[in-house]
Each structure stands twice: as structure tokens, then as C-alpha cells.
Amino acid sequence: MRRIKVSRGAPYRQAMSRQHKRFLLYALLSAVAFGGYYWLYAQPIDPLAVPFTEHETYMRDGGSLARVKSEQSYDWREAPFANKITSYIPLPTANPRQLPPVQSDRFSETRAQRKQRERRRVAVRDEFKHSWDSYKRFAWAQDELRPVSAQGEESFGGWGATLVDSLDTLWIMGLRDEFNEAVEAVASIDFGKTNLATISVFETTIRYLGGLLSAFDMSQRPILLKKAVQLGEMLYRAFDTTNNTPLGWLHVERTKEEGRSAFHAENNICFACLGSLTMEFTRLAQITLEPKYYDVVARISILMDRAQDTTKIPGLWPTSVNAAKEEFNQSRTFSIGALADSTYEYFPKMHALLGGIEPVYKKLYHDSAAMMDKYMLFRPMVPDNAHGEDMLLCGDASTFSEGEVQLEPTMQHLTCFIGGMFGLAGRLFSDPHHLDLGAKLTKGCIYTYAAMPTGIMPEIFEMVPCVSRTSCPWNRTVWEEGVMRHYGSADIEDIKGALRQYRIPLGFTNIRDKRYLLRPEAIESVFVMYRITGDRQYLDDAWNMFTSVVTASRTRYGNGQVLDVTFVPPKAPGRGFQPSDRVGNGPLTHEENIENKMESFWTAETLKYFYLIFSTPDMISLDDWVFNTEAHPFRRPKPQG
Ligand SMILES: *[C@@H]1O[C@H](CO)[C@@H](O)[C@H](O)[C@H]1NC(C)=O
Ligand SMILES: *[C@@H]1O[C@H](CO)[C@@H](O)[C@H](O)[C@H]1NC(C)=O
């Protein structure tokens, strides 16, 4: 350039060269932009090798959400927050600790094993597509698909529960066109209004907010963060109560009223509703760098910490608590299943999500897990020692006189998450005893799946607890006594007839709820234990569970809830079952055994865990991600330097 002699033509040439350079710059920029777009979203997906990309978060890069377009009929930032919080508990920002590895370093497979695993992975994805294609055709952007009648159903606020809940599954399965299509539909969700008068704060948080945050963590699409903030601002109003503890249900229109006062805090709220908003609000605070989202859930953790030793079983919290009075000592019934589950689940997960720099979660976990171990875990007496030797279930506990705790040997499908919880905590806190409990609890779920005629665990059942965990010989008399206690008969012949009629397998004393609602908790624990141990037996267990579930639940348009897991339909019509075999008004055919209902967790959770266990172990590694209770993985922080 410097050698070009200045002449009359020079300004012209310089202008040309500027134009030329600008053109080159534009060409280069568009090539990079297109290439980036192509690389991220449009590249053809190899069905056996799903690409996965690492990103830094959007806000940290100085992104602005104001530019991202999404019309809302109401801006929740303008809704009143009457009981103002004057100072925020800051989000811990110290350098995250290097926590012990969660995943095994021993994953090896032969070529034949790899082929088999890949076949299974593709089979899971095909099952997902079966439901997803019908959802697109018949229920697009509605909350749920009705899998028998091929209709939509608005059951979760009318914001597309299945759509939002399944975003990260689409991403993980490499269904990038479907993901893009879904994101476009998500962009036009209007969180300003709903078809319901009140919404469940807990469900809306774990499904919608969790789903949006996880899909954002994976794809970095700004619109997903924008939607998360829009929804987060609504849910934040659930903390506008007399003491800033959250409401269980938010009345959407009343919340908008100008000049209203703070809501009265709940006198009776389920423990899960109180304590399992923590991960979602923490992740929202981490991504947006807004301390107020962390503040409201950190307050609950302080409250739970203070109350932990004041309850009727110190260490545990009952299933319902008084948030208004901040008292946890009224109820006498304790469970790790419905109404409590995810609050316990979140203690070790919060430890991971905060990189181990907030000590309260380790304490909350340790003191509660010790009491579960002491009072709730039991070894069921089963006839087949080959399977029975090393397993545990988790029942409920209650106390009616000081210092005396009764175990109720009832197990819920919901409680099956507990194996994964003990396993994860066993790794994060380097506790081999808890790792062992995690494996045994997971085995309990695998066993009770396999013990049922369909190969699927029922929603709620009971077994006989052994006195000792180390030795548990089968004693038929003891089992029959247990059955008689439940069916209230003293005649053993009656019992035999009842067992035949109700199809109660050996070892079970009753099946209080015979349904399988397409729930994920058992495969969740199997997946976590597989990633922790690398034990290939879990792959076969998972495959047996998957094929059993598909066989019993498949409909023409998707998968439906199974009404009776003890019922196996006859192979040929007219053979096997006769109308006289009907139990009550129970089913006689495959179709009669399926309810017209497919909750969003089928595609959000159950099929995601099945897919992940048959993927390579670096796909959503538990050392990089931590799952919320709706199977939405959030990115874990990494130590700097
Ligand atoms: C619960 O604890 C509070 C405060 O410590 C106490 O006043 C109240 O009597 C207790 N209630 C029960 C049912 O034990
Ligand atoms: C089985 O249990 C019954 C009732 O508790 C008891 O009488 C019997 O001795 C037990 N049988 C064995 C083999 O332990």
C-alpha cells in the first residue's frame, strides 16, 4: 500500500479498495455466520453420533435480551411485589471447588456390545418420535397429547407443557429440525395469561422453567432465556407473601392487581412444594446474574436448616409443613415419596450446582439421609434369593409417641429416584456407604419391575420388611400373615384365592395402586448408577424395563398410562382370559388396560433417561451436568484456573 504513488487516480483507487475490503469483510462475516448456523443447527445429523457443543452462557458474553422478540399480553416485571425484600442473600460467587468425579472411568465395550447398545439407543429414539409425531399432528403447542383418541389436552396452564418439557430431549436426541420448530413455537407462548385460575408453582417451576433453562444451557438460544425470565418473573410473585415463603398455588389474575397486599403465607404446604424450587431459581440467577432469584430460595434453605432438628423425627421434615408460622413440628407422617421427594433430592444436587461452595446443602443431606437409613430403608423378604440378596426399598415413617418411629413398608414408584440420589451423593461426598445404599435401592426397583407379570413396577405396593438387612431368608408363613393382615381374613384358603384373583406376586402383601403412569424414577436411578459404576448389567436391566413399558403402554398415537401392571393381555383373542377372569372392572385386553393420558414427563424424562443410558457416557456427563427433578440437565460450574 505504501508503495502506491499518490496520483490523481489514487483517491478513486483507495475508495475502490475500501469498498472491496468491506465487501470481503461482509462475505467473510456471512460465511462465518452461515457456517456457524450450519454447524450449530443445520448440519445433517448422523443418527449414531449426535453432535454436542460447548458454550459459554449468553449473559456472561454481554448479550441483551431486550432485542429478543416475544410478545406478551402482560409484562410480569410490572406486577406488584408488596412485601418488598430489602436486601438480597448474594449468590455464592467464590471459585467453585473441584468436586470428586461422579462418573466411572471404566466404560469399555466390544464391537458387538457397541452395536447392541446403538440399536437400543435408536429404538428409544424411535419410540420418542412415535409420540412426538402425533403430538405435532394432533396436539401441537398444547399441554398434552391424548394418546388413545389423538387429541390435545390443556392441563398445565395451556402453555404447551409437553413442548417446553421436551425441548432438551429433542436437542439430546439430535432431532435438530424438530428442536428448531419447537423453539419457534415456544417463542410465541404467552405467559401473560393462562386457561387456569391458579397454577401450581412447583409443577410450573420444574417443568416449564426447568425445561427452558436446560434447553438454553444446551443451545444458547436467547429466546429460551427470554421466556425463562418472563416466566421466572411470574413465579417470583409466588414469594410475595407475609414472610416471603412461596405459595403452593398462584392465582394468576389476582397477582396482577394494582395495590394488592402481600398474600398470606401457606399454613399447610407440601414439603416438596416448599423446598424444590431451589435448583431452577438458582440456575436462573446464575445465568442472568440477578441475585433476587437466588435470594428467595436461599431463604427457604435457611429455614429448613433451622427446622431440621425441631420436627417429630429430627433430621427429616414431614410431608406437610406450616410455612406461615415457619413451624415444621406439627405433622407426624414422613415420606420420601409424593409430597416430599424432590426437596431431599435437591440437597446433593444443589451442592453440585453451586460447585460445593455453600455448605448448608451437605448438612441438610447428611442429617436427613442418616434418618432415612435408620428408619425408612428396609430389605424386603423375597422368595428368589438370586435376585433378593442385595436390595432395599424405602417406606414411610410415622411417630405417635416420643422417640418411637414406625416403619410403614409401603413403596411408591415415585420413591425410586432415591437410589440415584444416594449414588450421586455417595460420589459427591465420597461416602462408600451411601454409594452402596444407592446400588441396593436401585436393585430394589429393578427387582420389583421384574417381579410383576408385565415387568413394570406398580405405583404403590407393600412388601414384608426383614428384621435384618444382612440375612433375609424366605418364610412363606410370614408372607401369608402379611397378606392376611392386609386382606383382613384369617382363612388361608381365602388368601390363596385372593392372591390368584388379584395376581399378587410372591413377596408382595398388597398392591395398593396397580397403575404405571409412564413415570421415570426407576430408569433415572438405573441411569445414574450405570454412569457411576460402568456396570453393564444396568444396560440389560434398562432394556428389560424399556421393552416391558413399551409393550404395555403403546397406542397407535403414543404411549398411555397403564391401568394394571399385573395384567398381561392374551396373545390371541378368545384364548387365555375369559370374562370371568375380570378383576372388578379391570381390563381384558391391551386396549382396555391403557388410559387416554400421556403426561409431559414421558417425553421429557422417561424416554430421555432411556436414551441417555444407551448413549456413550460423555453424552450429558454427570461431571458436567446436574439434573433437576424433571430430568432437565443444568450446567455445573467449573473451577477457574
Ligand atoms: C412447635 O414448635 C413451636 C415453637 O418451638 C411451639 O410453640 C409449638 O408448640 C410446637 N408445636 C407442636 C405441635 O409441637
Ligand atoms: C417362619 O415364621 C413363622 C411365623 O413367624 C415361624 O413360626 C417359623 O418358625 C418360621 N419358619 C422358619 C423356617 O424360620
Please state, rounded to an integer, the average pLDDT across all residues of the chain.
90
pLDDT at 31 over 70: no
The residue type at 349 = K
Alpha helices in 358-416 (DSSP H): 360-375, 385-388
Which ligand gives the minimal distance to the CA of 332?
Answer: 1
Q: Which of 373-377, 490-494, 604-608, 616-620 has the lowest mean pLDDT?
A: 490-494
DSSP conformation class of 411:
E
pLDDT of 457 reads 98
Question: Could you tell me the distance, in angstroms and rounded to a whole number, from the CA of residue 271 to the centre of ligand 1?
Answer: 18
Give, in order, the Cα–Cα distances in Å from 623 to each of 417, 424, 526, 531, 636.
Answer: 19, 10, 17, 10, 8
pLDDT at 47 over 50: no
pLDDT of 40 reads 42
What average pLDDT score do residues 313-328 get? 98
- Relative to the CA of 473, which ligand 2 atom is closest? 14
Q: Is 389 a catalytic residue?
A: no
Question: Could you tell me the distance, in angstroms and rounded to a whole number, from the CA of residue 321 to the centre of ligand 1?
Answer: 12
Domain that holds residue 267: 88-635
pLDDT of 291 reads 96
Which pLDDT band, with edges at 50, 70 and 90, does 571 fall under?
Answer: confident
327 lines ligand 1 (CB under 6 A): yes
322 lines ligand 1 (CB under 6 A): no
370 lines ligand 2 (CB under 6 A): no
Judge whether 363 lies within some domain.
yes
Judge whether 640 lies within some domain.
no
Say how far residue 365 (Cα) sits from the centre of its chain.
19
475 lines ligand 2 (CB under 6 A): yes
- Where does residue 590 rank: exposed (0-12), middle (13-18), buried (19+ CB within 10 A)? middle
Judge whether 60 lies within some domain.
no
Q: Which of 4-18, 114-128, 386-400 has the lowest mean pLDDT?
A: 4-18
pLDDT of 63 reads 62
477 lines ligand 2 (CB under 6 A): yes
- Which string of DSSP letters, residue by residue, matches 252-317? HHHHH-TT--PBPPPSSEEHHHHHSSHHHHHHHHHHH--HHHHHHHHHHHHHHHHHTTTSSSTTS-
Judge whether 333 lies within some domain.
yes
pLDDT at 39 over 70: no
CATH number at residue 361: 1.50.10.10
Residue ranges of the binding site for Ca(2+)? 629
Q: Is 109 a catalytic residue?
A: no
Question: Which one from 233, 290, 462, 521 is the annotated catalytic residue?
Answer: 521
Judge whether 4 lies within some domain.
no
Sheet containing strand 333-334, edge to edge, reads: 333-334, 396-401, 404-408
Which ligand gives the minimal distance to the CA of 479?
Answer: 2
pLDDT in tens, 103-160: 999 999 999 999 999 999 999 999 999 999 999 999 999 999 999 999 999 999 999 9
pLDDT of 584 reads 74
Which pLDDT band, with edges at 50, 70 and 90, does 500 fall under?
Answer: confident
Question: Could you tell me the distance, in angstroms and rounded to a whole number, from the CA of residue 479 to the centre of ligand 2?
Answer: 10
pLDDT of 10 reads 43
150: left (phi over 0), alpha (psi -120 to 50) or beta: left
Judge whether 58 lies within some domain.
no
Cα distance between residue 602 and residue 132, in whole Å: 11
pLDDT in tens, 173-185: 999 999 999 999 9
Which ligand gives the minimal distance to the CA of 481?
Answer: 2
CA geometry: angle 61, 165, 269, nearest 5 deg: 100
pLDDT at 641 over 80: no
- Short-list 358, 202, 200, CA closest to 274: 202
Question: Could you tell me the distance, in angstroms and rounded to a whole number, from the CA of residue 506 to the centre of ligand 2?
Answer: 17
Decide: helix, strand or coil at residue 250: strand
Which pLDDT band, with edges at 50, 70 and 90, does 50 fall under?
Answer: very low
Identify whether the C-beta of residue 434 lies closer than 8 Å to the C-beta of residue 369.
yes
Which pLDDT band, with edges at 50, 70 and 90, does 6 fall under?
Answer: very low
478 lines ligand 2 (CB under 6 A): yes
Cα distance between residue 477 and residue 143, in whole Å: 49
Judge whether 401 lies within some domain.
yes
Which ligand gives the minimal distance to the CA of 318?
Answer: 1
Place of cell 450446582: 353
Question: Could you tell me the distance, in angstroms and rounded to a whole number, from the CA of residue 376 to the centre of ligand 2?
Answer: 24
Alpha helices in 413-536 (DSSP H): 417-428, 432-450, 476-487, 492-502, 521-533
Greater pLDDT, 472 or 247: 247
- Where does residue 427 rank: exposed (0-12), middle (13-18), buried (19+ CB within 10 A)? buried
Identify whether the C-beta of residue 292 lies closer than 8 Å to the C-beta of residue 85.
yes
- Short-list 409, 354, 632, CA closest to 520: 632
pLDDT of 44 reads 36
- Short-list 445, 361, 363, CA closest to 411: 445
Question: Which one from 118, 154, 190, 203 is the annotated catalytic residue?
Answer: 203
The total number of structural domains that make up the chain: 1
Cα distance between residue 330 and residue 318, in whole Å: 8
pLDDT of 197 reads 95
pLDDT of 577 reads 61
What average pLDDT score do residues 343-360 get? 98
Give the count of beta carbons closer than 10 Å to the beta carbon of residue 584.
7
pLDDT of 16 reads 47
Question: Could you tell me the distance, in angstroms and rounded to a whole number, from the CA of residue 329 to the centre of ligand 1?
Answer: 6
Read off the C-alpha cell for 391.
Answer: 436390595
Question: Which one from 144, 178, 266, 341 is the annotated catalytic residue?
Answer: 341
Judge whether 68 lies within some domain.
no
pLDDT of 34 reads 53
329 lines ligand 1 (CB under 6 A): yes
Cα distance between residue 555 and residue 562, in whole Å: 11
Identify whether the C-beta of residue 142 lies closer than 8 Å to the C-beta of residue 155.
no
